[in-house]
Amino acid sequence: MKTMLHHSWGESLKAFRKPRVITMLFLGFSAGIPILLIFSSLSLWLREAGVERSTTTFFSWAALGYSFKFVWAPLIDKLPLPVLTSVFGRRRAWLLVAQLAVIGSISWMALINPVLSDSSLVMMALAAVALGFSSATQDIVIDAYRIESAESDLQALLSAMYIGGYRIAMVVAGAGALFLADYFGSSTAAYSYEAWRLTYFLMAAMMLIGVVTTFLIPEPQLPESGLNDYVARDYAGLLVLFALAVCGFVLSYYFSSGLAADGKELLASLLGNKVLAGLLMETTRLTMGLAVATLIAKLAVILGVVRRDVVDDTYVRPVADFFSRFGFKLALWVLLLVGLYRISDIVLGVISNVFYQDLGFTKTEIATAVKTFGLIMTLLGGFLGGVLSVRYGVIRILFIGALLSAATNLLFMFLAQTGNDLHLLYIVVAADNISAGLASAAFVAFLSSLTNISFTAMQYAIFSSIMTLLPKTLGGYSGSMVDNIGYTNFFLFTALLGIPVLLLIWLRWNKIEAYTRLDDQKG
């Protein structure tokens, strides 16, 4: 990690006006458009169309792109695109292709009426998966571009602007898409495919903001990729290896679903705990899928589909570089911090809307407080996180963000005991979103500073995947936890989850700062 220089308040605030910082607002907007079009907005579309939830299981595959983007991030780090790379540069070429793929996938969804037949529903699922993978690819490139386009003392501000643009886009693709579909004449009582088609076409058009930004921004200065001497066959071999490994993972995961359901019931009866049984079984399925993908990749190398040194340069060296720079013990400590930092926020966030409903707040009250007012508070938190990180350094704000994120969860305990109190709801939402925005800005800057610019896409993709893996897994069982221990104890539990994070930062603070000082001297 590279130590932030401590700037004056005036210098910290002026940095927001730099073109590189403003650019991230538009790229963040481009990154934030697709995700709700895959999940919440699409779910409402299908619900209005009368599609049974049990028939939409394919749509869960759309999340794979976000969860395993580190698998193909090395390809984006290394592979040139014919013609486009020479014209736009490595990052901008991939960014343009990803954005055009996002526009194509959203438009593909717009052209499908999911209620015409079973095959049309399958096509909608495939389009959603395509959108998930193209969106995740865009995320990989934007993350790499952000890290490579500015020095370390601007990363917190770039992160804050990126998060701001992302949140604004989520409102556009979430509440905005629902408003448009309603305005064009679709409702639960009177479904209109034309309304949803026009809405999704307009959402595709919003992606042009990102495309124009890609044409206008400069290409960052990058070191040699390390694969310049490789021939077209080597690149083709990497793509074939990737495709075979992905197919093996998907097929393994798909065909194990029936076995997993039986195994879950058996484990639940043996352990007497459905939540634990489900967690163990899904972990087993994931491990099996990864093992199959790894075995296929090894066989491809043995059979000469791709050269071993190409695979080593693409997949092994980025990981080895991280451990060699930090040392094995400190590297594990850092990865543990990355995996736990957002756990308190994410686990609570999964069930927060259900909690508000259970307290008797109306959908309008929730939408106004959480979506609109909450967005403003998140942007304010991100702004504070960026400025304070520049002023005082990332590590300090990282610690404060973790402390506030855990502490504000205690306010949910107070709201649970108080009940339906709209004023208190706004106070809780304000505190929760400001702390989340502040912590996110500092944390993204921290993750950015961990990467080696020679392997930016791969290393950051690994960090961002680790960041959400455990929190999302645990968050999936938050409803079961609430059923067993109640909201008050659940919120106390999420607050306590923040204590290990604080200890991880505190106990290794000096070692990380010592490493960063040495790293800066080298740079």
The domain ranges of the chain are 1-222, 232-306, 327-523
Q: Do the domains at 1-222 and 327-523 have one common CATH topology?
A: yes
Look at residue 515 in the predicted model and tell me its pLDDT: 55
Q: Are 415 and 425 in contact (CB under 8 A)?
A: yes
Range name among 117-131, 153-167, 451-465, 504-518 with the lowest pLDDT average: 504-518
- Split at pLDDT 50, 70, 90, the class of 227 is very low
Q: Are 500 and 403 in contact (CB under 8 A)?
A: no
On the question of pLDDT at 136 being above 50, the answer is: yes
Distance CA 17, CA 357 (A): 41
Helix pair angle (343-358, 478-496), 10° resolution: 120
Mean pLDDT of 427-448: 89
Distance CA 166, CA 143 (A): 13
On the question of pLDDT at 317 being above 50, the answer is: yes
Look at residue 15 in the predicted model and tell me its pLDDT: 52
Look at residue 96 in the predicted model and tell me its pLDDT: 96
Look at residue 3 in the predicted model and tell me its pLDDT: 41
Distance CA 155, CA 147 (A): 7
Q: How big is the chain by its Cα radius of gyration, in Å?
A: 23
Which residue is listed with tokens 């005036």? 10
**φ, ψ at 188 (rounded to 5°):** -60, -35
On the question of pLDDT at 460 being above 90, the answer is: no
Helix pair angle (478-496, 394-418), 10° resolution: 120
Mean pLDDT of 248-264: 77
**Structure token pair of residue 277:** 């049984």
pLDDT winner (highest mean) among 205-209, 290-294, 518-522: 205-209
- Split at pLDDT 50, 70, 90, the class of 410 is very high
On the question of pLDDT at 202 being above 90, the answer is: yes
- Split at pLDDT 50, 70, 90, the class of 328 is confident
Of the chain, the end-to-end C-alpha distance in Å amounts to: 11
pLDDT greater at residue 9 or residue 447: 447
- Split at pLDDT 50, 70, 90, the class of 345 is confident
**Structure token pair of residue 17:** 């006006």
Mean pLDDT of 32-56: 77
Look at residue 187 in the predicted model and tell me its pLDDT: 81
- Split at pLDDT 50, 70, 90, the class of 108 is very high
- Split at pLDDT 50, 70, 90, the class of 230 is low
On the question of pLDDT at 113 being above 90, the answer is: yes
On the question of pLDDT at 282 being above 50, the answer is: yes
On the question of pLDDT at 305 being above 90, the answer is: no
Q: Are 174 and 371 in contact (CB under 8 A)?
A: yes
pLDDT winner (highest mean) among 36-45, 133-142, 157-166, 325-334: 133-142
**Structure token pair of residue 471:** 């929190």
Mean pLDDT of 28-37: 92
In this structure, which topology does domain 1-222 adopt according to CATH?
Answer: Growth Hormone; Chain: A; (1.20.1250)
Q: What is the DSSP string of 363-408?
A: HHHHIIIIIIIHHHHHHHHHHHHHHHHHHH-HHHHHHHHHHHHHHH
pLDDT winner (highest mean) among 152-166, 253-267, 299-313, 419-433: 419-433
On the question of pLDDT at 522 being above 50, the answer is: no
**Structure token pair of residue 144:** 């790499």
Mean pLDDT of 260-286: 75
Look at residue 38 in the predicted model and tell me its pLDDT: 84
Counting residues of the chain whose pLDDT is more than 90, the rounded percentage is: 22
Closest CA to 345 of 378, 391, 373, 368: 378
- Split at pLDDT 50, 70, 90, the class of 222 is low
Closest CA to 375 of 171, 200, 87: 171
Distance CA 183, CA 438 (A): 35
Range name among 85-94, 106-115, 179-188, 478-487 with the lowest pLDDT average: 478-487
User: Amino acid letter at 130?
Assistant: A
pLDDT winner (highest mean) among 150-159, 201-210, 326-335, 399-408: 201-210
- Mean predicted lDDT score pLDDT of the chain: 82
On the question of pLDDT at 117 being above 90, the answer is: no
User: What DSSP designation does 113 have?
Assistant: -
CATH level 2 (architecture), domain 327-523: Up-down Bundle (1.20)
Closest CA to 4 of 305, 488, 442, 408: 442
pLDDT greater at residue 499 or residue 17: 499
- Split at pLDDT 50, 70, 90, the class of 415 is very high
Which residue is listed with tokens 């907007």? 29
